Amino acid sequence: MCGIVGCIGNRSVTPIIVESLKRLEYRGYDSAGIATLNGAEIDITKTEGKIADLENILSLTNTACVGIGHTRWATHGIPSSTNAHPHADCSGSFAVVHNGIIENFQALKDELTSKGHIFSSETDTEVLAHLCEDCYNGDLESAVREALLRVEGSYAIAVISDNEPDVIVAARKDSPLIVGLGDGENFLASDIPAIRKYTNKVMYINDGEIVRLTRDNVTVSTLQGVNVERLVTIVDGSVQDAERGGYEHFMLKEIHEQPKALRDTMEDRLCELEGSIDFKELRPFEDEIKNIEGITIIACGTSYHAGILGKYALEDLLRIPVKVEYSSEFRYNNFLSGNRSLAICISQSGETADTLAAMNEAKAQGYLTLAITNVVGSTITRKADEILLTKSGMEIGVAATKTFTAQILTLYMLGIYVARLKKLIDVETSRHIITSMKSVPGLIESLLDNISDIEKASSRICEADCCYFIGRGLSYPIALEGALKMKEISYIKAEGFPAGELKHGPLALITAGTPVIAIVPKGKTYYKTLGNIKEVKARNAFVIAIANASDDEIVKYVDSVIKIPDIDELFSPMLAAVVLQLLAYYAAKDIGAEIDQPRNLAKSVTVE
């Protein structure tokens, strides 16, 4: 995790770096710092806390035109101003910001200490600053290169030195890094939105590459010193994407953006009349996809929950086995050969370290790899065999919302696409599914127009110290996601269970008044879930049901009902997900939690 930025130009870089760090704060926000270089010496300011805390202590009169910055999510060493980046060497001549983990830092630290280097922090990163000092022989780029050749682990780093006041050197291995090209100024950052305000011209830096930035020039070379020609990409996406646009929180804005995100994700892909999905990007792989005999879905967090839903839908449509694995587990399992198998790797950010590593493993085992991601140009898009983009627009709130429903939609579209390729469903059936699919954005809009029941239910949940989410079949992954949303942002203890599993343990947790949120849309498992609701009611739980608008029966069995519009069972999870996002949002708001930046979490987990 962590976010890094750098800027070299002809104007004061402090405000630019602060602004860019604010846009990277979703990557970590327990401490932050900035190092500027005014031609003669390096000045470092850092603090525990958020970018706003850093801003409060920064000198407004700093006119330095070269600088690097960092927002941290602690891995090695507690969040503190000492452990905050940038880190300097003994002489204060080198300053380094780093995103990643230096795995052999202890051995390097011991060696450098024995040479007389004095360390001041508990971080792994500090060894990089001392290594640069140790390797410096008149050329910063060579020193960084030499230092990195000794390092094991992952990194995106930026280094400045008072020996060369008009240069920033940066490098990457397994952590994201992009360069932005301006007019008489150049930038680097962990992602594009951080610098989008200043330029739309970017260069993607690859693993094992070093980049040297001056005001007027950017050169890229490999760690081994071979020069690399890198194309400049013009990016779109407006700067406004990164603004709250009148909403109190990014999360609320992003919940409300779901209809648009879904419409954009469907656009140009749905062929209702033909009952088919046009995934132009998959055409070169049609033969391989047609012959797929098994699928493994790999993801973390919310993307994993979309994956479970994908499993149910894909198995139903394709009649082949679909497994869902946590990325962090898959990469260390003894999995079987991926011959004639597809690995679908889901990651909204496209940068989750575990998912990237799992995808590499899958590739090595012979799987055809397909990435579903929301971020154009992210690492996953450059490593997967095939890519399907969700078109949700930038998501800033740490708790994923609009990207979740867009992932589900994309998995469903993929199911129809493959089912048609394999001739497993007829035009009539797929046309029917597509018609329902098209109605989802409008139904979410109507749901968002009337949220008073959700607000009421959330205040009831806030009165308790824990709550449980239950569902069966397609509603089970939504129960998991509802619980995840709740714990992520409101810190209320929340667990999701398959409703049928209650009697195998979780029922012991139910006491009088315990809130149980039952996701119970009409469908195959409706009456079974109703049975489970009765079980918890018999233990005096306070049951909040999420049920269809036309369900007049449910009110007899529960304490409170939140209605979702009627739709095909396959799509109810998308509507229920929106309810659960709002339920968590209002619970967090009641409690006064920091919704967009929950404690200890980060949006993009770029370390293992």
Return the number of the residue (199 or 327) whose C-beta is nearest ligand G6P: 327
Residues facing 95 on adjacent strands: 88, 160
Which is nearer to ligand G6P, 296 or 349 (by Cβ)? 349
Sheet hosting strand 386-389, strand order edge to edge: 322-326, 294-299, 341-347, 368-373, 386-389
Q: Which is nearer to ligand G6P, 399 or 545 (CB)?
A: 399
SS3 label, residue 261: helix
Query: Among residues 123 and 347, whose Cβ is nearest to ligand G6P?
Result: 347
Q: Catalytic: which of 2, 65, 300, 462?
A: 2
Smallest separation (angstroms) from ligand G6P to the CB of 380 = 8
Q: Which is nearer to ligand G6P, 277 or 398 (CB)?
A: 398
Q: Is 287 exposed, middle or buried (0-12, 13-18, 19+ CB in 10 A)?
A: exposed
Whole-angstrom Cα distance, residue 178 to residue 67? 16
Distance of closest approach, residue 349 Cβ to ligand G6P, in angstroms? 3
Tokens of 78: 């507690």
The least CB distance from residue 391 to ligand G6P, in Å, is 15
Shortest spacing between CB 292 and ligand G6P, in angstroms: 23
Alpha helices in 201-345 (DSSP H): 250-256, 258-266, 286-290, 301-318, 327-330
Report the alpha-carbon angle 450-452-457, nearest 5. 130
> Residue 395: which of 405, 386, 385, 387 has the closest Cα?
405
Which helix H or strand E contains 241, and what residues bound it?
none
Q: Specify which residues 178 forms β-bridges with.
A: 189, 204
The nearer residue to ligand G6P, 145 or 402, going by C-beta atoms, is 402
Say whether the peptide bond before residue 498 is cis (omega within 30 degrees of 0): no
Least distance CB 598 / ligand G6P (angstroms): 8
3-state helix, strand, coil in the chain (%, to 5): 40, 25, 35
Residues 6+ apart with CB under 8 A from 226: none
- CA dist 98 and 80 (Å) reads 16
Counts for the chain of helices (H) and strands (E), in that order: 18, 27
Query: What's the rounded Cα separation, in Å, for the pair 423 and 272?
Result: 17
- Residue 276 or 373 having the CB closest to ligand G6P: 373
Tell me whether residue 301 or residue 565 sits nearer to ligand G6P (CB atom): 301
Q: Indicate the residue among 177 and 554 with the shorter CB distance to ligand G6P.
A: 177
Note whether 194 and 176 are within 8 A (CB): no
Residue where the block lists tokens 């971020």: 375
Q: At 169, give phi and psi (nearest 5°).
A: -115, 135
| In the complex, minimum distance from the CB of residue 605 to ligand G6P, in angstroms, rounded to a whole number | 5
From the list 46, 391, 485, 603, the catalytic residue is 603
Tokens coding 448: 């968002």
CB 326, min distance to ligand G6P, A? 10
Q: How far is the CB of 481 from ligand G6P (least distance, A)?
A: 9
Distance CA 414, CA 410 (A): 6
134-170: string of b/e by CB count within 10 Å (b at 16+)? bbbeebbbebbbbbbebbebbbbbbbbbbebbebbbb
* Beta-ladder partners of 324: 297
In the complex, least distance from residue 14 CB atom to ligand G6P, rounded to whole angstroms: 29
Q: Which residue has the tokens 């594009």?
A: 192
Does residue 2 carry a catalytic annotation?
yes
Beta sheet of 227-228, edge-to-edge order: 87-88, 94-102, 153-161, 164-173, 209-213, 218-222, 227-228
Question: What's the min distance (Å) between Cβ of 604 and ligand G6P?
Answer: 6
- Cβ closest to ligand G6P, residue 341 vs residue 347: 347
Tell me the CA distances in angstroms from 447 to 264, 380, 444, 480, one per residue in order: 19, 34, 5, 21
Range list of β-strands (E), 359-479: 368-373, 386-389, 466-471
Closer CB to ligand G6P, residue 510 or residue 578? 578
**CB 469 within 8 Å of CB 580:** yes
- Residues within the interface to ligand G6P (CB under 6 A): 300-303, 347-349, 352, 355, 398-400, 601, 603-605
Task: Report in angstroms how near the CB of residue 355 gets to ligand G6P at its nearest.
Answer: 5
Q: Which residues are catalytic?
A: 2, 603
